């Protein structure tokens, strides 16, 4: 199985870019994690011993945990910046500049 997902992890300029990158990262980690799990099950079915397949189970679990952490980061971002995003949606632009 080949897994190819375009992933842009450049520093985001907007909230949407951040949320899109998190969604892509979450999908990629979950997809690879599930592929590793399926592959490991096939290896076990071919009678490879658990001493060999056990570490690969850790790979699967780590990738699934990584996907869950990415989902949590997304939720925390949305909650932390909810008010700012509502204000911006109402038409106020935040420039980050100090008034002179």
DSSP 12-60: PSSHHHHHHHHHHHHHHHHHHHHHHHHHHHHHHHTT--HHHHHHHHHHH
Q: What is the residue whose two structure tokens read 């870019």?
A: 17
| Residue 21, pLDDT score | 93
pLDDT in tens, the chain (100 residues): 555 566 778 899 888 999 999 999 999 999 999 999 999 999 999 999 999 999 999 999 999 999 999 999 999 999 999 988 888 888 887 777 777 7
Asked if residues 46 and 56 have their Cβ atoms less than 8 Å apart, the reply is no
**How many whole angstroms separate alpha carbon 34 and alpha carbon 28?**
10
| Structure confidence at residue 29 (pLDDT) | 93
Could you tell me the pTM of the whole model? 0.80
């Amino acid at each position: 199985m080949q897994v190819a997902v375009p992933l842009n992890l450049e520093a985001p300029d907007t909230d949407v870019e951040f949320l899109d990158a998190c969604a892509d990262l979450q999908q990629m980690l979950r997809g690879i994690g599930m592929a590793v799990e399926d592959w490991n099950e096939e290896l076990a079915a071919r009678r490879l011993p658990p001493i060999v397949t056990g570490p690969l189970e850790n790979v699967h679990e780590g990738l699934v945990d990584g996907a869950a952490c990415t989902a949590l980061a997304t939720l925390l971002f949305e909650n932390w910046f909810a008010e700012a995003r509502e204000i911006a949606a109402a038409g106020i632009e935040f420039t980050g500049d100090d008034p002179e």
